Chains A and B, each alone.
Chain A
Amino acid sequence: MIKVVIPQIKLKQGNKDENLELTIDIIKRYFNEKKPTLIVFPELSIIGYFIADAMYEAAEPLNGPTISRIAEILDEKGNLAVGIGIPELDLRKRGLIYNTYVLISSGKIMGVWRKTHLPTFGVFEEHRYFARNAEHGLVVEFHGMKFGVMICYDAFFPEIARIYSLKGADAIIVPASSPLPSRELWDPILRARAIENGVYIIFSNHVGYRDGLMFFGESRIIDPTGIIIAKAPAFEEYVLEVEISPSRVEFARRVRPTLRDLDTRVIEVLYRESKPKT
């Protein structure tokens, strides 16, 4: 059993220092928690998601001040893991930045995920700033359960969730920055990903206005059978706490064994058909 905490709090647009303090305040609340606890902040949590061209200034490397500070306060806390989002400055390829999510525990980085599908339509301009990631499938273990991460719009592409599930994920974290126009889409998308794979889906969204755009909240957890087991309210701050268990994954895959019944020949067709034909 792992306790999942989703802090749906009003992070400040562009104010990294203040957001880091808000993040640490939340983490400290769980310092004395006996159960293994996973705290899931939303996408690009440290900058409050949308800051346009200030993104270049805000980007920092994985060994930068934000990750170091959180790793430091988690040093002695082996039963606590924290996921945060940062605009990540690439140390190898100078000048490139990524929309990155990092899981941290016991003073160390457990895993790093970079967003692949960068929405650049309507209100979104992510491809203006971020380089896209093409590697997938990192699954990390925390107190007996395995986790993958797909960042916001990545959840709209079922292949990503499938890769994590095939690699053994029990739960997929979906850190998001979802504004009002996308609100109706998340229930069907997230429940489908859960049912298709028999996995938990942990959806952590921002709440509050960024300029004129309302990020609606409604963070939620879908269990591996596709049921929404907890949902935070819209437009309000709320800290969601839910326990998840590997036995629910086993149960889901017994009553509807989608992963067992997956015919890999279909994936071969998908692969063949998705390649551009010249």
Chain B
Amino acid sequence: MYPNSIEDIRRILLSINIKETARLIKEFIRDYFERVGAEKAIIGVSGGVDSSATLMLTRRALGKDAILALIMPHKGITPEEDVQDALEIVKLANVEYKMINIDKISMNIKSIIENTGISLNRMAYGNIIARSRMIVLYAFANTLRGIVVGAGDKSEIILGYYTKYGDGGVDILPIGDVYKSQVRILAKHVGVPEKIAMKPSSPRLWAGQTAAEELGADYTEIDPILFALFELGMKINDVLSLKGVRGELVYALLRRIKVNEHKRMFARIPKIHKGPTIGIDWKFTIWR
């Protein structure tokens, strides 16, 4: 039956074969890890659903000794509940973890920059926090012959709802082709407690920030729209005529996808030579 409501699409979206998805992701992590000859998988754990699911999947793929989890709260921004949830999940996974307060690093960067006379806005500082975490993750990775395992999901990556070179600065994204609503099911399947699996999403770049408020809707409403566009190949007009869809949300999402396209690309380079130019016609695989 051709879907004619948002509800129909949500049903299709949630009918994903979760067991096989988990298996494919585990195989992927194992394959990448072995082929680059890594010794540790470094994962930032926030207490949210994405990083918890990623941690559990990586744990199942590589075993406990290959993993180092980093919990990096920011005083005044990260809710205490998140820190507790992060602790719960690393203990559940039974992996080594370290707690690093990111506020000192981030605030130092901010104050050094602000000493030049500029006053950073909320977004700029939020991104400094995300990028500070990236620096810490790679410091561990470089020292322990590790790779940084990112936790972005498909909904966020399509919308560009992440920090370029922050949480986007990682080596692999195991759940990067799984929509947020699907990650919640996947998380429960790999043993993430219900409370964490169903927790409302937030990048936590400033106090009180929520994804729903910033994006204009919850992922339960966003995901079926993205799914209709990208997985079912529906035309924009057909999506707009679905029962239960808010037209202004569809347009807002499309705008977001377009303006954030740069986040999914290598930095643009003007082509000079006939030979392959990086980001344009340079096509190589990781292994050859």
Cβ-defined contact, A14 with B287, below 8 A? yes
Find chain B residues with CB under 8 A from A270 CB.
none
Contacts of A54 in B (CB 8 A): 284-285, 288
Q: Which of A103-111, A204-212, A249-257 contacts B (4 or more CB under 8 A)?
A: A204-212
Task: Please determine whether A13 and B288 come into contact, CB atoms closer than 8 angstroms.
Answer: yes
With beta carbons under 8 angstroms apart, the residue of B23, B31, B276, B288 that contacts A209 is B31
**Which chain A residue has the least Cβ–Cβ distance from B176?**
A212
Once A53-B276, A235-B23 are accepted as A-B contacts, the answer to whether A14 and B285 lie under 8 Å apart by CB is yes
Q: Is A208 touching B31 in the complex (CB atoms < 8 A)? A: yes
Interface flags, B249-276, vs A, CB<8A=1, else 0: 0000000000000000000000000001
Residue of chain B at shortest CB distance from A47: B288
Enumerate chain B residues within 8 angstroms of A13, measured Cβ to Cβ.
285, 287-288
Contact A209 B28 (CB under 8 A): yes
Most buried by B among A15, A208, A211: A211
B251 to chain A, nearest CB (A): 27
Q: With a CB–CB cut-off of 8 A, which chain B residues contact A53?
A: 276, 282-284
Instruction: Assign chain A's interface to a size class.
Output: 20 to 34
Distance A214 CA – B28 CA, assembled complex (angstroms): 8
Q: Is A52 an interface residue (CB 8 A)?
A: yes
A209 B27 Cβ-Cβ under 8 A: yes
A interface: dominant SS = loop
**Which of B23, B32, B287, B288 has its CB near the most chain A CB atoms (within 10 A)?**
B288
Chain A residues within 8 Å of B276, by CB: 53
Contact of A211 among B24, B177, B285 (CB under 8 A): B285
The answer to the question of A117 belonging to the interface, with a C-beta cut-off of 8 Å to chain B, is no
Asked if residues B285 and A52 are in contact (CB atoms below 8 Å), the reply is yes
> Is B286 on the interface with A (CB-CB < 8 A)?
yes
In Å, the complex CA distance between A209 and B24 comes to 9
Complex CA distance for A273 and B33, rounded to whole angstroms:
53
- With contacts A53-B276, A208-B31, A209-B31 taken as known, whether A235 is within 8 angstroms of B284 at the C-beta atoms is no
A12 lies within 8 A of chain B by Cβ: yes
| B287 pairs with A15, CB closer than 8 A | yes
Q: Please state if A51 and B27 are interface contacts (CB–CB under 8 Å).
A: no
Central interface residue in B23, B286, B287, by most chain A CB within 10 Å: B287
Closest chain-B Cβ to A207's Cβ sits at a distance in Å of 10
The answer to whether A235 and B285 touch across the interface, beta carbons within 8 angstroms, is no
Q: Name the residue on A nearest B32 (C-beta).
A: A209
Q: Is the CB of A212 within 8 A of B28?
A: yes
Query: Please, how many angstroms separate the alpha-carbon atoms of A235 and B276 in the complex?
Result: 34
Contact A214 B288 (CB under 8 A): no
Would you give the shortest CB distance from A119 to chain B, in whole angstroms?
A: 16
B28 touches A51 (CB 8 A): no
Q: Which chain A residues border B284 with CB–CB below 8 Å?
A: 52-54
CB pair A51–B288 under 8 Å, yes or no, is yes
Chain A residues within an 8 Å CB radius of B31: 208-209
Which residue of chain B has the shortest Cβ distance to A48 in the bound complex? B287
Give 7 CB contacts A-B under 8 Å: A14-B288, A15-B287, A54-B284, A125-B283, A209-B27, A211-B285, A235-B23
A contact residues vs B (CB 8 Å cutoff):
12-15, 50-54, 58, 125, 128, 180, 208-212, 214, 235
Q: Would you list the 10 A-B pairs with minimal beta carbon distance, nearest first?
A: A14-B288, A54-B288, A52-B283, A209-B31, A13-B287, A53-B283, A51-B288, A52-B285, A14-B287, A52-B284
